Amino acid sequence: MSGKKNVLLVKSGGEAAIDEWRSHFAHFAATESPESAALDVRWWNDASVAPEDVAYALVWQPDPGRLAALPNLRLILSTAAGADHITSDPTWPRHVPLIRAVTPEAAQRMGEYVSMAALALLRDLKRSVRQQAARRWDSFETERSATDTCVGILGLGTMGVRSAEMVRGLGFRTIGWSRSRKAIDGIDCHAGNDALPGFLAQCDILVCLLPATPETDGILSAERLATLPRGAALVHVGRGSHMKFDDLREALDSGHLSGAFVDVFETEPLPADHPAWTHEKIVVTSHNAAIASRRMRARFFAAQIAAFERGETPVGVYDAVRGY
């Protein structure tokens, strides 16, 4: 890193988080990634930063046009695993490498969320919560155990593989689906569009962990939800663009689906009057299924900046052809 073009502009966690980011980046420059040592970590709207001095931008939902206005930008760092919050800006500078957050911590947290949701759906936790609110003692039985329940995971990337391993560890029969075929111990792996109908027909609990791309847009359509076994449940942790909420609501209200955990929506934040909030078969979470700590994201990005400075290829580079 040379000259003065070493500003890392950060839009993640708000201005209040900037001191924490600065201290984590300083720590990892001193301990693990010396090539990132000259970084000058600044808040996104810091008026004292000259656009030509910005070398790196670590962002969540950057204001459209802002990245394109940074003439010496060397890397775009997505603070999330998905990159759609950046690539949805038609002006994003495609010649600048875009790095997605890939941390074992986020994958672990996603695995915890998916495990929690699968067990809660299996044991109808919402019913117990309703009973407690009504002070009603009703020792109901649920039909299945994990061992006779199939969890199917759409997307076998960093998030999907760890989630598959963790639900498999709970005893669920576990299957997965991806674009290219995988071989994962204990997981029955399917690949490609032709395999999707047969895959869905087996899923008692379907988990969506796909990226938002033109190919995955609307992938959880009403027609596809209808091909799940009657009584199946959904854990939607992919992206809002994968599903229309009304299709889920109809599948739940008709009794075809039995329940859902939904972490991502077509509109976020979810409006206060949205029907998902009060639906008795839905658990809503606020797109927080797998947020890695700032410390671990700083460690990951310091390492990728250092690799880039050494002329190596960083981990997590967004591929514009695949769209993820």
Query: Where does this chain bind ligand OXD (CB under 6 A)?
Result: 80-82, 101, 290-291
Residue facing ligand NDP at closest CB distance: 157
Nearest approach in angstroms of CB 209 to ligand OXD is: 10
Nearest approach in angstroms of CB 77 to ligand OXD is: 12
Range 207-216 burial, b when 16+ CB lie within 10 A, else e:
bbbbbbbeeb
Binder of ligand NDP out of 115, 174, 213, 258 (CB under 6 A):
213
Nearest approach in angstroms of CB 155 to ligand OXD is: 12
Q: Decide if residue 305 touches ligand NDP (CB under 6 A).
A: no
Alpha helices (H) along 54-202: 84-87, 104-122, 125-133, 158-169, 196-200
Up-side HSE of residue 122: CA atoms within 13 Å toward CB?
Answer: 22
Nearest approach in angstroms of CB 314 to ligand NDP is: 14
Q: Decide if residue 235 touches ligand NDP (CB under 6 A).
A: no
Q: Decide if residue 210 touches ligand NDP (CB under 6 A).
A: yes
Residue 239 known to be catalytic: yes
How far is C-alpha 16 from the geometric centre of its chain's CA atoms?
23
| Beta carbon nearer to ligand OXD, 12 or 149 | 12
Q: How many C-beta atoms surround the C-beta of residue 300 within 10 A?
A: 25
| Beta carbon nearer to ligand NDP, 152 or 211 | 211
DSSP secondary structure string, 240-294? GGG--HHHHHHHHHTTSEEEEEE---SSSSPPTT-GGGG-TTEEE--S-TTPPPH
Residue 297 known to be catalytic: no
Q: What residue type is 221 in one-letter code?
A: S
How far is C-alpha 54 from the geometric centre of its chain's CA atoms?
27
Axis-axis angle for helices 294-309, 18-31 (nearest 10): 50
Nearest approach in angstroms of CB 121 to ligand NDP is: 17
Q: Which does 18 bind (CB under 5 to 8 A by kind): ligand OXD, ligand NDP, none?
A: none
* Residues binding ligand NDP: number (CB under 6 A): 28
| Beta carbon nearer to ligand NDP, 204 or 263 | 263
Task: Give the residue from 181, 202, 203, 184 showing the smallest Cα distance to 193.
Answer: 181
Q: Decide if residue 85 touches ligand NDP (CB under 6 A).
A: no
Nearest approach in angstroms of CB 92 to ligand NDP is: 16
DSSP 3-state assignment of 224? helix
Contact of 160 with 272, CB cutoff 8 Å:
no
| Beta carbon nearer to ligand OXD, 84 or 124 | 84
| Beta carbon nearer to ligand OXD, 82 or 176 | 82
Region near ligand NDP per CB under 6 A, out of 48-56, 198-206, 285-293, 299-307: 285-293
Contact of 44 with 20, CB cutoff 8 Å:
no
Q: Which does 213 bind (CB under 5 to 8 A by kind): ligand NDP, ligand OXD, none?
A: ligand NDP
DSSP 35: G
Contact of 145 with 171, CB cutoff 8 Å:
yes
Please give the residue ranges that form the binding site for ligand NDP (CB under 6 A). Answer: 81-82, 110, 155-160, 178-180, 209-213, 215-216, 237-239, 263-264, 287, 289-290, 324
Q: Which residues are catalytic?
A: 239, 287
